[in-house]
Amino acid sequence: MTRKPIIAGNWKMNNTVADTRDAVRKLVPLVNDSVDVDIVVCPPFTSLAAAVDAAESSNISVGAQNVHWEEKGAYTGEISVKMLIELNVAYAVVGHSERRQYFGETDVNVNRRLHASLQAGLIPIVCVGETLEQRRSGEMEAVITGQIRVCLDKVSADRMCGTVIAYEPVWAIGTGVTATPEQAQEVHSLIRRLLRESYDDTTAETVRIQYGGSVKSSNINDLMSQPDIDGALVGGASLVPDEFGDLIKKAVDN
C-alpha cells in the first residue's frame, strides 16, 4: 500500500503574526509543485488565523500545537477543537514531548485530546518517543508500546486510519542528533506491528507514521527511504522557509 507522505513543521513558541505571514508567503511558491505530499505548518495559537489566511488557495494546511478535550469551560490557557475548526485549522499535534516534559501531559490526557480531535474532524498528529535513559536501559520497546496502547485507547479502526503518528525520540529533538534511518525504521516497524495487533493489516498499512527529531533537508531523503517512514515532524528546520521548502521537495524526491 502506498501512503501519501506528510511533512509538518512544528514552529513551537516561534513566529509572531507578522513572522508567520512572512514565512507562509515565502513557503507557498517554494512548494506549490509538491503535490504528492501533505504539507502542514503548526504555528502558535496566536498565529493560526494569519497562517490560514496566508496559506489560502495553496497546498499548505495549518495545524495547532495542542488542543483541549473539553468543548468549553474553566480551563485557563486551553483551546478547544471548536475554536480551531472555526479558524479552518485542519490538524492538531497532541502529546509532543515538550508538552509531556514541561507541562505534565500524560498518555491519558493525550488520548482525550486525540478523541476530541477525531470527533470534530481535526486530524491528530500523536507524538510518542523514548528518552535517552529509557533507550540506554533497554526500555525503548516497552515505553513505545505503553504510549501507543494508552494514547490510542478506544480509537476505532476507521478513525485510526485518519490519525497520524509521530515517532520522536526525545534525545533527537533539538539536539542535532538524528536517529539513524535504521534506528527510526526499527521503531516505526514496531509501531506498525502494534497497530496490526490492535487493529488489522489494512489499518496498520494505512496509518502514516512520521519521524521527528533533528530532521533537515540533508537527512530527510535517507529517512524517507525506509519502508515505514511516511514523513516528518520538523522543528528547527521548518522555521526557515528555504530550508523547509527544500526539505519538502527532497522528501518526495526518491
| Cell numbers for 131 | 528518552
**Per DSSP, what are the bridge partners of residue 40?**
8, 61
Site for ligand PGA in 199-218 (CB under 6 A): 212-215
- Residue 157 C-beta: closest distance to ligand PGA, Å: 27
SS3 content of the chain, % helix, strand, coil (to 5): 45, 15, 40
According to the binding rule CB under 6 A, does residue 43 interact with ligand PGA?
no
- Residue 13 C-beta: closest distance to ligand PGA, Å: 12
Residue from 5, 236, 241, 245 that binds ligand PGA (CB under 6 A)?
236
Choice between 130 and 199, CB closer to ligand PGA = 130
- What is the per-residue DSSP string for 141-189? HHHHHHHHHHHTTT--HHHHHT-EEEE--GGGTTSS-PPPHHHHHHHHH
Do 95 and 126 contact (CB within 8 A), yes or no?
Answer: yes
Choice between 212 and 245, CB closer to ligand PGA = 212
According to the binding rule CB under 6 A, does residue 92 interact with ligand PGA?
no
Residues 6 or more apart whose Cβ sits within 8 Å of residue 211: 166, 167, 168, 179, 184, 188, 223, 229, 231, 232, 233
According to the binding rule CB under 6 A, does residue 94 interact with ligand PGA?
no
Choice between 24 and 128, CB closer to ligand PGA = 128
**Residue 29 neighbours by CB distance under 10 Å:** 11
Residue from 50, 151, 234, 251 that binds ligand PGA (CB under 6 A)?
234
Binding mask 104-143 for ligand PGA (x = CB under 6 A): ----------------------------------------
Site for ligand PGA in 146-175 (CB under 6 A): 168, 173-174
